[in-house]
A and B are shown apart, each in its own frame.
Chain A
Amino acid sequence: MTKFRVNKTKHVDQTKTVSFNFDGKSYHGFDGDTLASALLSNGVHLVGRSFKYHRPRGIMSCGSEEPNAICQINEDTDLTEPNVRATEIELYEGLKASSQNCWPSVNFDIGGINNFISQFIPAGFYYKTFMWPKSFWKKIYEPLIRWSAGLGKSPTKPDPELYDHKHVHCDVLIIGGGISGIIASKIAAKNNLRTILIEDKNILGGSTIFQKNENYKINNKYSSEWLDDEIAELQKLDNLTIKTRTSLAAYHSYNFLLAKENISDHLPLDKKNGGIRQRLWKIRADKVLVATGAIERPLVFNNNDRPGIMLANSVKKYLDFYGVSCGFNNVIFTNNDSAYETAVSLKEKGISVEIIDIRKKSNSKIVKNAEKLGVKIYWNSTIVNTFGHRKINSIELMNLSEDGSNVVGDKNRINCDCLAVSGGWTPMVHMHTQSGGKLDFRENDQTFIPTEIDENHINVGSCNGDFELEEIINNTNKKVKNFLKVSETEFDNTSVLNSKELDKRNIWLLPNYISEGKCKSFIDFQNDSTAKDIKLALREGFKSIEHVKRYTTTGMATDQGKLSNMHALGIIADTAGVKMGTLGTTTFRPPFTPLTFGSIVGRSVGKFFDIVRKTSIHEWHSQNNAKFENVGQWKRPWYYPINDEGLHDAVQRESKAARDSAGILDASTLGKIDIQGTDASEFLNRVYTNAWSKLGIGKCRYGLMLNEDGMVYDDGVTTRLGENHYLMTTTTGGAANVLSKLEDYLQTEWPELDVYLTSVTDHYSTASICGPNSKKILTKIFPDKDFSDDAFPHMSYQNAKIDEINCRIMRISFTGELSYEINIESKYGKSLWEKCIEVGKEFKITQYGTETMHLLRAEKGFIIVGQDTDGTMTPIDLQMDWIVSKKKYDFIGKRSLYRSDTIREDRKQLVGLLTDDPNEVLEEGAQIVSDVNKKPIEMVGHVTSSYFSPNLNKSIALAVVKSGKKMNGQKLIVPMENKNINVTVSDSVFLDKENKRIYA
């Protein structure tokens, strides 16, 4: 046992030694320690360097507000994790941790040089300095910032651990297992409400659980003993679920909350057994009780950041809970009574302590108690300086003037090895404000407390501004009864012995004889912002707290300003001479404490990251060496290389085969919507630009769908299956959106129409066979069918059977070739496909993928919605005037086609481009200009599709160009990084302008 472990407590098992490693050195702690308490028990205070000035920093607190003791754990493994607070992580055998943000070591730190040039690094330094010269950005500023900024290291390997999500519902959710949370849970559960209690520590009890003092008694028991009994009873209640090691991350509207449960973080690496590491709870609660407690405020004075300077209540917790004394020669610096508990506790264990109190007097029992124990108290005094490099060794104090605005008299130096500070308490209102709750400012102790507005959400205990034991118990009981509509509880007649007074003297920035510019009075320890920075920001004209915060980076570190926000506000108010309550506070955003990425994504990793949709023919494609591309969630064959063929060669071969003999494409992914109802034809008339009423049964028609703003939205072929029955196809990516858009119009604008829509995309598989030999292949598959142009004309459909299985054949073409599509129920898709391949063998049928499909349609100038259009193209821009009905009174988007903007002649319009060098293939997305000499060079358009056509034996491209319609034959330039490519505007149909091939 080390000399700092002075006290035996039941929370730390001193028979079970745990060895761990910090910054390369081995230490021992005990079962029940946190990393921080174990380090302190070894006398280690210095645990890191500050962010900007690289000043030595020590453990300051014992909870989630810790700004300094931020560690990297499990270094050099795939489990390494940065930004772990030493105050929160439970010690386990073999834990390896190291300081962050210090190089080469915590004891010798090169960045510490910033500390000596700190006068040159004022607030807004980064904004001011790194502005110019511009050329310095890439080579000097950015690498410098990257090197010096950042906290910790990310793992370089995938996270091997499992994470989980769980949805739960409950009547009452209670956040925080301190005294208020325990009282509330007991009342709720005993009144037949399904209750969940979550607590971020591994045990319940909050700060009352280590309170063993004659001055604090409940029903004549020590408050800790009373609470022990309550917890024992609590654990027997049936409808109460207690979740320890579970911290609330976010409180969203309608009582939807996220909480993170740590399941294995406290276990040694070899005991984790591959189980779940963390579980994210998604909780929907009928009622929420927030009992998150309060955090102690530090005090702002010169050099208030040395290792060994800690929060007073944390010093007490280390002593009474973990049995560790943070020093043997303690000084307490306070403005309120609560720090006297720490003094009494230290003194009772025979440890030396003196108190500096900025108040003039206090008459409470606890102060009397301290005086009786012989604690020396310096009233009306303040600390003006501290000394000691790697740990505090002495302080200097002076008397305060009558009004507290200045220091008077002589300096007095006292030696110490630990300075415990207390500036009063700040309610943890984060949850309340996250949920949308507002705050009131309470003048007498300068705190923001929640305004209750929601009937399904209350705050109890010290997060609600009740700081004294008696208030906490009685008010919690009263509020919970009212909230849960309970008439009486076992807590109604609780007797509480209390010994503090609310007397407090608040000075946000303590005065000094040293000039302000030479003082380092830290407000935000993690981001190194000082009182001086705040004042500078105000002098420079920043007024809003949100702006000051960003300019000085106060409250913007990983602790989200838990310790700093109030002081920043207070100093702003004092400097600007306004009331603090009028400034408002900053908005707290989730998460309250950082979440791991693992817990956010849960099981949605790897192959579960997104849904993968495969057609029924997928397996065949895989076996035949297809390379796939993602189209939305679909996997579509992209091309089918033979041996070591690349993309280009494969596509050239596939394209040539499709036009020379026969090609086959899996078109199953196209969206299919079954449309039925007596008004189906009228409906199509309204959603497509062309006319549909006269389409005969058994006929197919291509349709273009616009948005109400006149821009092309989707396209596809629709077939009339019967009098009141159509089958619409959509683009693969647009299927879901088209269905939802059509539903929208049907339900909201045209409810009078008798039309029903059903998505049947997954119901059918489609094999599309094209090429001059396609008719012969079809004839072999369907020997009874007459495929002559008269019996089965272009743009028509017929029912057919393959071995008793019904299917539909559509004679439609997306490639400009003679072409048939066979639709069959999905489960027969693969056999149909295999049959086509088998029968097509003698015609050298060639499977082709999406890349070839794109090339074939580009040769014909057919658009691809989403590639040649981008939501800013009208059918007129696409030179598709022929598909826009002049006769129809109305259709979606019609009126927009003659708005002043859409009739402009200099809009970007779809054209063909031919490169002067027929072997030069343009890059898709490349910009097009007409004059490279006139600066600035005006962009007149861009390339949308570009290929080398094996059928034309030259490069072809589609592009959108300003006033393109009138530019046929004109020369343009496509400037590339190292050359200019000369092109000529052409017709967008490159092949078979007369459309003869579809009758081949």
Chain B
Amino acid sequence: MFLINCPYCGERDQSEFSCGGEAHIVRPKQPTELSDDQWAEYLFMRKNIKGVQFERWNHAHGCRKWFNMVRDTSNDKIHAVYKMGEKPPVE
């Protein structure tokens, strides 16, 4: 059970949050101009890394804000949290 540092509320129990999968997958601005393959890449393809992964999280039972998290999926260490729109921290 993680202890997550919501960038708006501070440290809260994991049960207040939901995970929204991989971060920094930007919705294409002009979907109609994409081929089936390009669209499928956006729609279906996820990395699912064992190791350091960038993820979207939502403080669903709290401030309802979405934010990003850098988490090592192999040991669940959270390296950083940052707001939507902010640049990911460089290691």
Report A730-770 residues with CB < 8 Å from chain B CB: 740, 743-744, 747-749, 751
Task: Select from chain A the residue with minimum beta-carbon distance to B56.
Answer: A748
Task: Tell me which of A253, A254, A896 contacts B43 (CB under 8 A).
Answer: A896
Query: Are B3 and A284 in contact, CB atoms less than 8 angstroms apart?
Result: yes
| B-contacting residues, A887-918, CB 8 Å | 889-890, 894-896, 899-900
Asked, given contacts A889-B32, A895-B31, whether A747 binds B76 with beta carbons under 8 Å apart, the answer is: no
- CB-contact partner of A900 in B26, B36, B64, B75, under 8 A: B36
**B76: contacting residue among A255, A436, A895, CB under 8 A:** A436
**Complex alpha-carbon distance, A751 and B34, angstroms:** 23
Chain B positions within 8 Å of A255 at CB level: 3
Chain B contacts of A896 at CB under 8 A?
39, 43
**Known interface pairs A708-B43, A896-B43. Does A254 touch B31 (Cβ–Cβ under 8 Å)?**
no
Give Cα A666 to B1, complex, Å. Answer: 41
Q: Which residues of chain B are near A890, meaning CB under 8 Å?
A: 30-32
Question: Complex Cα distance A709/B39, Å?
Answer: 10
Instruction: List residues of chain B with CB within 8 A of the CB of A747.
Output: 65-66, 84
- Asked whether B45 is an interface residue with its Cβ less than 8 Å from the other chain, the reply is no
Residues on A with beta carbons closer than 8 Å to the beta carbon of B43: 708-709, 896
Asked if residues A895 and B56 are in contact (CB atoms below 8 Å), the reply is no
Q: Which residues of A contact B3 (CB under 8 A)?
A: 254-256, 284
Q: CB-CB < 8 A to B76: which residues of A?
A: 253-254, 436
Provide the bound-state CA to CA distance between A436 and B75, in Å: 7
B2 and A253 contact, CB distance less than 8 A: yes
Interface membership of B58, Cβ < 8 A = yes
Q: Are A256 and B1 interface neighbours, CB within 8 A? A: yes
For A736, the closest partner residue in chain B by CB is B60
Contact in complex: B39, A743 (CB < 8 Å) = no
B89 within 8 A of A: no
A288 to chain B, nearest CB (A): 13
Query: What residues of chain A lie closer than 8 Å to B27, measured between beta carbons?
Result: 708, 749
B85 interface contact, C-beta 8 A: yes
Measured CA separation A575–B66 after assembly (Å): 55
Residue of B whose beta carbon sits closest to that of A750 = B27
Q: Is the CB–CB distance between B1 and A899 below 8 Å? A: no
Q: B39 contacts which chain A residues (CB < 8 A)?
A: 895-896, 899
Q: Which A residues from 238 to 258 make CB contacts under 8 A with B? A: 252-256
Q: What CA separation (Å) do A744 and B66 show in the bound complex?
A: 7
CA distance A894 to B32 in the complex (A): 8
Q: Tell yes or no: B40 within 8 A of A by CB.
A: yes
Shortest distance in angstroms between A756's beta carbon and chain B's nearest beta carbon? 12
Residues of A within 8 A of B1 (CB): 252-254, 256
A899 touches B84 (CB 8 A): no
A interface footprint on B1-40 (CB within 8 Å = 1, 0 otherwise):
1110000000001000000100000111011101010011
Contacts of B32 in A (CB 8 A): 889-890, 894-895
Chain A 652-670 interface residues, beta-carbon cutoff 8 Å to B? none
Q: What residue in chain A is nearest B1 (Cβ atoms)?
A: A256
Cβ–Cβ contact B58 & A899, under 8 A? no
How far apart are the CA atoms of A252 and B1 in the complex, in Å?
Answer: 6
| Distance, CA A255 to CA B3, complexed state (A) | 9
State whether B66 touches A743 (Cβ < 8 A).
Answer: yes
- Would you give the shortest CB distance from B66 to chain A, in whole angstroms? 5
Contacting residues, chain A, for B28 (C-beta < 8 A)? 895
Q: Would B36 and A899 count as touching, CB distance under 8 A?
A: yes
Min distance, Cβ B73 to any Cβ of chain A, angstroms: 12
Q: B residues near A, CB below 8 A?
A: 1-3, 13, 20, 26-28, 30-32, 34, 36, 39-40, 43, 56, 58, 60, 64-66, 75-76, 84-85
28 inter-chain pairs at a CB distance below 8 angstroms, sorted by A residue, are A253-B1, A253-B2, A253-B76, A254-B1, A254-B2, A254-B76, A256-B3, A284-B3, A284-B13, A436-B75, A708-B27, A708-B43, A740-B58, A740-B60, A744-B58, A744-B66, A747-B66, A747-B84, A749-B27, A751-B84, A751-B85, A889-B32, A890-B30, A890-B31, A894-B31, A895-B28, A895-B32, A899-B40
A-B complex: 10 closest residue pairs judged by Cβ atoms? A895-B31, A256-B1, A254-B3, A747-B66, A252-B1, A253-B76, A749-B27, A895-B39, A254-B2, A748-B66
